Structures are given as structure tokens and as C-alpha cells.
Amino acid sequence: MDTGPGRTQSLYRKYRPETFAGGELVGQDHVRDTLRNAIANGRVSHAYLFCGPRGTGKTTTARLLAKAVNCLDPEPANRPCNVCEACVAINQGRATDIIEIDAASNRGIEDIRDLREQVKYAPAQLRHKFYIIDEAHRLTRDAFNAFLKTLEEPPPNTTFVLATTDPDELLETVASRCQRFDFHRIPAEQMALRVRTVCEQEGIEIDDEALSIVIRQSTGSLRDALSLIDMLATATSEDKTIDAGLTRKMLGLSQDERTLTVIEAILERDLTLGLQTINDALDSGQDMRAFGRQILAALRLLMLCRAGANPAEADGALRELATRFELPELLRINREFSEIDFAIRHGGFPQLPIELAFVAAIVGDSATVQAAPQPAQVTPARRPEPSRPEQRASAPPQRQPEPRAAQPAQPAREPIPIRREEREQSPAREPAASAPQPPASTPEPRPSGAATASVQMVVERWPEVRTEVKAADRKVEALLASCDPYSIIDGTLFLIAAYPFHASKLNEDRNRQTIEDAVERVLQQRLTISTGLRGELPDAPDEGGPPSGGTGDSNATPQTPPRQVRDDGANASDSNDGYDASEAEDDEQERAAAREEHQVIERMKAIFNGEEIDIDELQIDGGSSS
């Protein structure tokens, strides 16, 4: 196939298997033999499910099956022949009856409905129509449900092939309607033989050690192996051989000596040698994630050798090293290194997880740890003394916490609860408005378990409480924006809310627990939280009335001044003369407050997913609950 000027076809596409021959379709003999028998006996199923890791030949086998079913060769054993018109059309990508669908991008129910409409039409070019659905597990549940009837009873001359790397994500009703074939990872020997054949046909020289590294890195995926060979061939000149040094450099791998050095350092309990080797690998540009995997792979082989499994990948050096370890010790070390891959990927210092696992592998044992001797530093370790040491010796040591310890007992410093009206009337809260405070008592208090928190203390540190709540639950913090501390009675912190909706939400067990935890973290004291509206909350026993300076009755309405009466007996408010600027400003403030309350309610409805709220309870048109 012509790839256009300046482009070359990748090796895994160029050497994609074109027949069921064993030299091309590698490592899947059980699938190959079953499908060839089905073609020879005319027992091709209406639906197949191909499962297995990436790069093992699922989509390639589906294409071979479609080509063999539509092949015009009279001898079934020769199909596909790659000579007839149908085979040539499929190889060149001109067959309109072989439809490949990427389920990752066509996963919705509308895509399946379009597929159901297209299935009704007979094949236009070939004898049999094939639908190859790649990554089938990405289809949505609704799409699968819409696809079930078509999958179970497709029209004549139509076959579905579902390919997936995660069959557990498929519905059981889908899997039960298909013939399932499990594709295995390709063995190293068969993969090495296939890669070597491709290199010979391409004129690529590669030594055995480099080929072994490529096979190990591909982890059973022939497509990955051919992609690595393609990259290595591009990195070297035509007259040079791909060697192990170039392969490790291109793949970001470390030398085997470093891996063995780290393992020997664990065996010898030599912290200095192991940590120095890890940092040398980092300084040389080694990928720490690949280095950690190499160490883990070597430790795994050591454990298998020590347990008598005799893995084929282990060489003489590893087998000799395994005899110097005990099996329980290898088990513990493998556990330490098996958890570092995620930490390396998401951590700020990629070498740190390897260092921690290395140190834990040594320190976890009771054996003696060898470390490099520290340079003698006796006197320089201390800070330089002041210029006059005789004054320091004569003066007694001064301890700053002493004066602060004498401050707490001040009976006159009783906290005054602050209510919402006071906070709204004074936009900038000035500490000097109350009794003057010494500078030593204003810093953020951290009361001990014996000290009791005050409302004034809670008000001063309320922004910190909201910050802690926001880190735990943003919805609860949004509710606290319209609430203020009211009073503290018998270990209960009462919050005054602007609206009934806020009070009911904050009194829920989960939200109240979030606020109590935040208050405890900030004030170092556990308080019970209770939220209510004005008139529902008890005043502190030493207040003597509401803190706003009322008459003492929390339910009493404030006295309004009498209206001015004109000489003609009419109210002054009935005429434009008596409607002064202050009354107009008050009305505007009421309207602005109503608008603000409406915005708050709309915001709360959006935060709590559109929960229904009784707007009449809020009294937006007149007296707000705040």
C-alpha cells in the first residue's frame, strides 16, 4: 500500500499476518486451529468475542477470519488465498462490507441505532458482511442493551466480532451470545523468532542481547516489539548493528550492573553503596520508573530461583545471588519494592520511593546496617555565641510563656455574642470599639483542654474555621457564608442562620460533624454545633439580653418613632415633603437585601442539585430572617 511521499509504513502494519500460517499468526495456536476448522466445516458463528492483552492479534485475527470466509478459493484449507478478488480487496482496504468500529469513540446508543439500520442491508461487494467492534467494553450499558437483539439474531450473511482487552466489563448477556476466544501473551521464544525474521527481511542487524531486552520490554505484545525495533532501526545508521547499549539508552533502561549492585547492597546491608548507586542512575539520566521495575523484576527472579521455580529468564549471576538470600527475606523485600511504581509516577522526587524501599528492605531486618563514617564535627555544630557571653551567664534565662500563662484569669473579659445586625451595621469590625486590649492577648489563642472557648474567640477565628470546612466539604462552607456564631452555652456553639434552609441543612448529622471537626482543629476544643434562626436560639446566661442592646426580650419588636403629623391631620409620609432622603435610602437597602437573599437561595439550589425550597418561608418581600 502506498503511504505517500515522505512516509514509511510501520513494521507491525507492514508485516501484519495475511494467512493462518503458524509463522505469521504467532502464539495463538488454539485460536487459529479452531477458526480454520470452523471455516473448513462451514460452521462460522454469527458472533465472536476476542479477549486478551494488547498486541496479541485480536483485530488481526478478526480480519483474517473475514477474509477467509469471503475467500473465493474452492479449497477451504487454502483460505485465505490472498489472490482472489475478495482477498485483494480486503488487503487493499477497498472492501465496503468489512466495517471496523472503534467503540471508544462510537459508544452511545445513537451509534448502535445507526448500526442496527445498516445491518438490514445485504452485502454490496462480498458474500459475507463483517462488523469488527474494537474495544467493545467501552460501549455504554444502554448501547449494549440496544445491541442485544441484533447480536443474538443478526440478518443472514452477517457476522459480528467483538474485540476487547477487558472482558469483565462486558455484560453477561452480551458475552453469552458470542463464541469467546482468549488470546494469550506471546511466549518469548516465538516472539524472538518472529522479530528476528522481520529484521532479516528488513536488513536490520541486531545482536542477541539487544533482542532479549526488546522482548522483555514488550511483555508479550508482538506489536510493541516491532514498534521498538522500528524505533531502534531509526536511531542507528544502516551499517551499524543495534546493540544492548543503544537499546538501553533509547528505552531509558539502566545497566544490569546497577541493578545487581543495589541487590548486593541489600544483601550486605550497605546503605551507602545502594543509595549512591540509585543517585548515580538518576544523575546519568536513568528513568527512575524503569529502574524501579528492573530492580523488582530482578528481585522476582531471585525469589523464584530460591523457591525452586527455575525461571528461564534468570542467568547464572542471578541464580548464584539467589542462594545467598533466604526465601522469607526475599518475600519481604519484594513486597517493599512492589509498591513503588505508583509513587514514582505521582511523586515529586522520582528517586525517593526507590530509596525508601531500599532502606526499608535493610532496616526492616535486625541485622547490622553499614553506613559511611560521618566526618568529625564536634564544636562547629553549635551556633556562634553572642559577643558578650559574660552577660548571658549573669542574666537569668527569660522564658516568654510565663507572662502569658498569668493572663487568662480576667473575669472582666466576658465575651459578648455578636449578631448578624451588628455585623451588617459595622462593615469594618474594629477591635478598639470595645475595651482596649493588650497586644499579648490578641494573638490567635490555642486554648488547652482546660480552657473554654468564647464567642469572641470563635468570631475572630471564624475565617479559619470556614477554611477548614471548605477543605472538607465545599457545600457546607457555602452554607456557612450566611451564618454567624451566636453564643456558647454548656459546650454548645449556637450558629444563627439567615434562612430556614441553611439551618436545616447545617443541623444534618453529616454537615454538623464536618463543622465540629473543623472547630476542633482550629480551637483545639470540641464543641457541639447547633444552628437556628433568630428568636429560636438561647442567649448566653451572662448576657442579660440580646447583644444588640434591646430590652432583654428576644421576641420584642423594636419601638419605631411616631410619624410626623401635619397641621391638616394627614401623615407626613403621605406627602412628598415628609419622605426624606433617609427613608428612601432605607427602602433601597431593603430592596437590595431582598435581591441578595434571592441570589443566595438560587445559589444554594444550584449547589444542592436543585433541591426544592419553599421560597415563602424566606419572606423575601419583607422581613428577612436575617
DSSP symbol at 252: T
Specify the higher pLDDT residue, 364 or 441. Answer: 364
Q: Which helix or strand (DSSP H or E) is residue 41 part of?
A: helix 29-41
Give the integer Cα–Cα distance in Å for 65 and 126.
Answer: 13
Cβ atoms of 88 and 120 within 8 Å: the answer is: no
The answer to whether residue 195 sits within a structural domain is yes
Are 73 and 203 part of one and the same domain? no
Length of the chain: 626
Q: Is residue 89 domain-shared with residue 163, that is, in the same domain?
A: yes
Please determine, for residue 266, whether its predicted confidence score (pLDDT) is greater than 90: yes
Structure confidence at residue 600 (pLDDT): 61
- How many degrees, rounded to 5, is the angle at CA 315 between CA 312 and CA 321? 120
Q: How confident is the model at residue 45 (pLDDT cuts 50, 70, 90)?
A: very high
Q: What's the domain range around 156? A: 17-182
Provide CB contacts within 8 A for 174, sequence distance 6+.
136, 144, 147, 148, 151, 162
Residue 607 in 3-state DSSP?
Answer: helix
- What is the sign of the dihedral through the CA atoms of 55, 57, 58 and 60? positive
Band of pLDDT at residue 609, cut at 50, 70 and 90: low
| Contact in structure between 568 and 520 (CB atoms under 8 Å) | no
Q: Which residue has the higher pLDDT, 343 or 557?
A: 343
In this predicted structure, the answer to whether residue 185 has a pLDDT above a threshold of 70 is yes
Residue 132: strand, helix, or coil: strand
pLDDT of 402 reads: 45
384 assigned to some structural domain: no
Query: What CATH number is associated with residue 62?
Result: 3.40.50.300
What angle in degrees, to the nearest 10, is found between the helix axes of 109-119 and 141-152?
20
CATH number, domain with residue 604: 3.30.300.180
The position carrying cell 447547633 is 530
Q: What CA–CA distance (Å, rounded) separates 594 from 620?
A: 5
The answer for 57, left when phi > 0, alpha when psi is -120 to 50, beta otherwise, is left
Residues paired with residue 181 on neighbouring β-strands, in sequence order = 50
* Shared domain check, 208 and 157: no
The answer to whether residues 291 and 345 belong to one domain is yes
Question: Do 174 and 53 have their domain in common?
Answer: yes
The answer, yes or no, to whether residue 110 has pLDDT greater than 80, is yes
**Short-list 38, 74, 90, CA closest to 82:** 90
Domain boundary among 160, 182, 204: 182
In angstroms, the CA 131 to CA 173 distance is: 19
Q: 474, 467, 524, 529: which is closest to 497 by C-alpha? A: 529
Q: What is the mean pLDDT of residues 401-422?
A: 44
Confidence of residue 369 (pLDDT cuts 50, 70, 90): low
Residue 573 forms part of a structural domain: no
Asked if the model's pLDDT at residue 1 lies above 70, the reply is: no
Beta bridge partners of 206: 242
| H or E element in which residue 99 lies | strand 98-102
Is residue 463 one of the residues assigned to a domain?
yes
Same-domain pairing of 131 and 217: no
pLDDT at 541: 57
Domain membership of residue 568 (yes or no) is no
Q: Are 138 and 23 in contact (CB under 8 A)?
A: no
Last residue of a domain, one of 121, 156, 182: 182
What CATH number is associated with residue 219? 1.10.8.60
Mark whether 459 and 477 lie in a shared domain.
yes
**Grid coordinates of 190:** 516465538
- pLDDT value, residue 67: 93
Judge whether 546 and 419 are in contact, CB under 8 Å.
yes
Which of 251, 252, 272, 253 shows the shortest CA–CA distance to 261?
Answer: 272
Q: Confirm if 221 and 54 have CB atoms less than 8 A apart.
A: yes
| pLDDT, mean of residues 436-456 | 51
Decide which of 616 and 234 is more confident: 234
pLDDT at 310: 81
In a domain, 87, yes or no: yes
Encode pLDDT of 199-254 as tens digits: 999 989 999 989 988 998 898 999 999 999 999 998 887 777 888 888 888 887 76
- Whether 279 and 349 map to the same domain: the answer is yes
Helix (H) or strand (E) holding 215: helix 208-218
pLDDT band at 342 (very low <50, low <70, confident <90, very high): confident
- 206 within domain boundaries: yes
Q: Tell me what pLDDT residue 274 has.
A: 93
pLDDT band at 407 (very low <50, low <70, confident <90, very high): very low
Residue 39: predicted pLDDT? 92
Q: Are residues 538 and 588 in the same domain?
A: yes
Cα gap 353→344, rounded to integer Å? 6
- The percent of residues above 70 in pLDDT, for the chain, comes to 71
- 8 A C-beta contact, residue 495 and residue 597: no
Write the CB contacts of 35 (distance below 8 Å, at least 6 apart in sequence): 20, 61, 64, 65, 68
| CA atoms of 593 and 624, how far apart (whole Å) | 8
For the chain, what is the domain count?
4
Are 532 and 496 in the same domain?
yes
State residue 538's pLDDT score: 78
Check pLDDT > 50 for residue 391: no
Spatial distance between the Cα atoms of 118 and 147, rounded to a whole number of angstroms: 13
Query: Is the confidence at residue 378, as pLDDT, over 50?
Result: no
Judge if 48 and 162 occupy the same domain. yes
pLDDT at 384: 47
- CATH number for the domain spanning 317: value is 1.20.272.10
Query: Which of 182, 208, 237 corresponds to the end of one domain?
Result: 182
More confident residue, 197 or 438: 197
pLDDT of residue 261: 92
- The C-alpha cell of 604 is what? 444554594
Are residues 53 and 150 both part of a single domain? yes
- Look at phi and psi of residue 140 and say left if phi exceeds 0, alpha if psi is from -120 to 50, else beta: beta
Chain mean pLDDT for the chain:
77
Residue 216 lies in a domain: yes
pLDDT at res. 333: 93
| Residue-level pLDDT at 251 | 82
Kindly tell me if the per-residue pLDDT of 270 is higher than 50: yes
